[in-house]
Amino acid sequence: MKLTTRQLTLCAVLTAMALALSYLENFFPLSLAIPIPGIKLGLANIVTLFALYALGPGQALLILMARCLLGAVFAGNMNALIFSVLGGVTAMAVMIGLSRLKGLSVYGVSVGGAAAHNCGQVAAAVLTLGSTAPLYYLPVLLGVSLFTGALTGLIAACLFRALAHTKLWGA
Amino acid sequence: MRRFGALLAALLLAGSLTACGGAAAQEMQTAQVFAMDTVMGLQATGGETAEALAAAEDEIYRLDEELSRTREDSAVSQLNRAEAGTSVEVGAELYDLIARALAFSQATDGAFDITLAPVSSAWGFTEDAYRVPAQEELAGLLAHVGSEHVHLDGASAVSLDQGTQIDLGAIAKGYASDAVAAIYQEHGITHGIVDLGGNTWVCGGNLKGEPWRIGVQDPARAGEAEAYTGILRMGDGFAVTSGGYQRYFEENGKTYHHIIDPATGHPAESGLTSVTVVADGTVGNGTMCDALSTALFVMGEERALDFWRSGVYDFDLILVTEDGRLLVTDGIADRFQPDETAGYAYEVIS
Amino acid sequence: MRMKSSPKLRPNGWDGLAAAVVLVLAVACAALVWTGGGQSGPLTAVVSADGETVDQVVLADLTEPEERTYTANGCTLRVTFGPGSAQVTASDCPTQDCVHTGKITRGGQSIVCLPARIVIQLEGGPAADSGVDLVIG
């Protein structure tokens, strides 16, 4: 993938923002208190969502992978990598698919992404624990993703509106 | 407008961060503690669960060491070892507990007594070496029994008369349940069970939003599981049971249980087989329930119910009598469901 | 603004549909995972010493009695697991309470040996009829 300097800079800034949001979430390590994936807001999904529309799937995936890798390195916790990658990639795949549907607004895409993110994390937990016990939490997580997804969708919508008149994207 | 949008986004972000703390999936966390000669079960959820359970465990071990009569280095042992009549600095906590114990002795006309230690040792209940002591031996020991042989000196010192020993075993678990209840409250536990070997405190009801269901063991079927006199529904509160069936030995076809009547020096023969004292969940009531369950077992049906009616302390009772009656005071009658299969004649007392 | 693609910014009926799909998924998932009400897996004996789980025996899978021994804190317990039951058949502990407890057969029941600090607890299986949260006395 060949990136212009502008694109590269934007990717870097968005990666940094995503990392900052993930870091914020680490103050509430619900999923780490018990070795079971807990409820996460998925704030970094705002960046993924934004990048997906603004820069396209390729660069959004690039940002996602950089965020997961750097996040794990910064946290010094490589075990968390599988959680964030599986959650992030599942969410990304679902959001790419949903964003192609003309009817859906940013809210629907975001809710789908949040639900997928939780599914991915539960899958990661099932894999790492070698137990199906985390599945027990999936219904709750899915229910909560309606709320968190709508919230990140709202924030993303606000962002799009706020940035609609800037020349940030212009050539 | 754009600034407003950004501000809104920032506010939502901050708000949602705080909101997600309460959304944790609810499941009871448990801990098991071996202390005070029993196995204790702690359950909790909500608030700082892990911290609360760890703190509770530490506190129970600490109290076990402080209050045990069989540990040589405990504060109680130091007091018992001291020369008769000398004031021993026991610290504010033990002083207050002894003061409360003496007050319970007074209120129950000596049916509750922390100076019974030498007598219960003579029966072998302290050392697990059971025997039936001779009458003269008991008479000699009983001379040193009674709350009048314990003296509170100043603000934190206690002295004992010649031959008097104290044992807080009949109140220690209740006191520990108060301490754990306080720890649960400090850590914001929303649903919890503290079961310290028959001394229980519950809070918040179960996760389905209903009161906890507490089975009261049928003393006639002591060894059996799921053999209840009835089920008590309680969201928040203390419940403590004392019964002769909990610890006993047999010799020459006669059964001797561990609840000694301070008046005779023999296992209490009051016509009751089990006494359950129930009170609201206010910290402090655990100690009261523990002391009263023992005292009322010794006092027997009539005196126990008179004591309840006197209103000196605020509590309710579930009594099981030798002649097959199940008596429940009216304060909890609407929350108590007798088990018909147990075969007791059920009476509500007012 | 020149984005790769510009999103719709107002929620509409299609979003409601997406949310409904997630909700249906959650409910279906709940029905799948949480079924059985009181049943939480097959009847299993969990043996712990000093609070640490040392052994698990799925009683529902046993066809004939199986004997195992556990040693902790200087005491040795011989435990017989049967199809749907557990019992301490012999112990060299001073109190013998664990032996006196007899056979336990239902989820929630337990055998405790204080001197050994061993607890054998049954989990799962059909919910007990009485549905009691704890027992006093």
- Please report, for chain C, the start and end positions of each structural domain, with discontinuous segments joined by +: 44-123
Which residues from chain A sit within 8 angstroms of residue B25, using beta carbons? 36, 38-39, 137, 140
The region of weakest confidence among A43-57, C7-21, C28-42 is: C28-42
Q: What is the pLDDT of residue B19?
A: 36
> Residues A125-166: pLDDT tens digits?
667 655 555 576 688 788 888 888 998 899 888 888 888 777
Check C22 against A145: CB less than 8 A apart: yes
Instruction: Report the range of poorest mean pLDDT among A34-38, B104-108, B307-311, C38-42.
Output: A34-38
Neighbours of chain A (3+ CB pairs under 8 A): B, C
Residues of A in contact with B8 (CB under 8 A): 158
Give the distance from residue B136's alpha carbon to the nearest chain C alpha carbon, in angstroms. 29
Q: What pLDDT is recorded for position B21?
A: 34
Q: Is residue A92 part of a domain?
A: yes
At C26 the pLDDT is 87
How does the average pLDDT of chain A come out, rounded? 80
| Inter-chain touch B231–C132, beta carbons under 8 Å | yes
- Residue A63's pLDDT is 92
8 Å CB contact of C137 and B276: yes
pLDDT at C38: 44
How many domains does one find in chain A? 1
Per-residue pLDDT at B224: 76
Q: Which residue has the higher pLDDT, B195 or C98?
A: B195
Inter-chain CB pairs, B–C, below 8 Å: 77
Q: Does the pLDDT at position A107 exceed 50?
A: yes
Q: What is the ipTM of this complex?
A: 0.77
Which residues, other chains included, contact B267 with Cβ-Cβ below 8 Å and sequence gap of 6+? B123, B244, B248, B256, B257, B258, B259, B260, B261
Contact B5 A162 (CB under 8 A): yes
**Sheet of B336-338, strand order:** B336-338, B228-234, B212-217, C134-136
Chain C residues with beta carbon closer than 8 angstroms to that of B215? 130, 132, 134-136
Distances (CA, A) of B232 to A16, B274, B315, C99: 57, 15, 14, 29
Residue C11 has pLDDT above 80, yes or no: yes
**For residues B285 and C117, which has the higher predicted lDDT (pLDDT)?**
B285
Is domain C44-123 given the CATH code 2.60.320.10 in the classification? yes
Please indicate whether residue B282 or residue C84 has the higher confidence score (pLDDT). Answer: B282
pLDDT bucket at A36, cuts 50 / 70 / 90? very low
Contact with chain A for residue C14, Cβ under 8 A: yes
Region A101-128: mean pLDDT is: 86
| pLDDT tier, C73 (very low <50, low <70, confident <90, very high otherwise) | confident
pLDDT of residue C105: 81
Q: Which domain holds residue A60?
A: 5-163
Cβ atoms C86, C57 nearer than 8 A? yes
Q: How high is the pLDDT of residue C101?
A: 75
Query: pLDDT (tens digit, 9 = 90+) per residue, A108-117?
Result: 999 999 999 9
The pLDDT assigned to A60 comes to 92
Give the CATH number of the domain where residue B106 resides.
Answer: 1.10.3980.10
Which residues of chain B carry a pLDDT beneath 50?
1-25
d(CA B141, CA B324) in angstroms, rounded, equals 34
Burial (CB count within 10 angstroms: exposed 0-12, middle 13-18, buried 19+), residue A134: buried
> According to the model, what pLDDT value does residue C107 have?
73
With respect to residue A169, please indicate whether it lies within any of the assigned structural domains: no
Chain C partners (3+ C-beta pairs within 8 A): A, B
Q: Is residue A46 one of the residues assigned to a domain?
A: yes
Q: How much of chain C exceeds pLDDT 70, in percent?
A: 84
Identify the CATH number of the domain in which residue A110 sits: 1.10.1760.20
Q: Which residue shows structure tokens 């050392």?
A: B127
CA distance C64 to chain A (A): 27
Whole-number pLDDT of residue B60: 95
- What does the mean pLDDT of chain C come to? 80
Q: Is residue B307 part of a domain?
A: no
When divided into structural domains, chain B yields a total of 1
Contact B225 C106 (CB under 8 A): yes
β pairing state of B254-257 and B248-251:
antiparallel
pLDDT at B18: 37
pLDDT tier at A31 (50, 70, 90 boundaries)? very low
Average pLDDT for residues A12-36, to the nearest whole number? Answer: 69
Mean pLDDT of C92-117: 78
CA distance A42 to C19: 17
What are the two backbone dihedrals, phi and then psi, of residue B217, each rounded to the nearest 5 degrees? -55, 135
Position A80 pLDDT exceeds 70: no
Backbone angles phi, psi at B49, to 5 degrees: -60, -50
Q: How many angstroms separate the CA atoms of C130 and B20, rounded?
A: 36
**Structural domain boundaries enclosing B85:** 70-160
